[in-house]
């Protein structure tokens, strides 16, 4: 099943707020919006060079700043988490994105289970 625009928005809001712990006006949210990243599939489709160059609208009109390094790493780890789950036979289907927990993601972030070959 293809996700509707509303479903993608709900999933992204859930991931940003509950999994990645981002404030409503965070630099990461602004960068994703600025880059037209509308779903977790979009995040996972970006390569590391693209993520490294993410910019977000600054408080000054027509000025963009590079996304802080911590936010870039957070996106890369999210990609690796999704890839890891698929590699161990537990991929996220469209209905599964809302089942990701901050605890599960944080446990992955601090574990040694981040194989470099996945991304």
Structure token digits, residue 71: 């936010």
Give this prediction's pTM: 0.87
pLDDT at 117: 43
As a whole number, the mean pLDDT across the chain is 90
Helices 102-110 & 69-87 angle (0-180, nearest 10): 100
- The per-residue pLDDT for range 46-102, each reduced to its tens digit, is 999 999 999 898 877 777 899 999 999 999 999 999 999 999 999 998 889 999 999
The total of other beta-carbon atoms located within 10 Å of residue 27's CB is 20
């Amino acid at each position: 099943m293809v996700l509707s625009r509303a479903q993608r928005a709900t999933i992204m809001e859930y991931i940003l707020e509950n999994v990645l712990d981002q404030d409503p006006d965070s630099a990461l949210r602004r960068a994703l919006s600025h880059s037209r990243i509308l779903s977790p599939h979009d995040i996972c489709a970006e390569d590391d060079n693209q993520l490294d160059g993410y910019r977000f609208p600054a408080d000054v009109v027509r000025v963009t700043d590079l996304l802080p390094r911590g936010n870039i790493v957070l996106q890369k780890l999210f990609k690796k988490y999704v890839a890891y789950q698929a590699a161990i036979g537990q991929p996220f289907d469209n209905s599964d994105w809302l089942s990701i927990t901050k605890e599960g993601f944080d446990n992955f972030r601090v574990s040694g289970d981040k194989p470099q070959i996945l991304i």
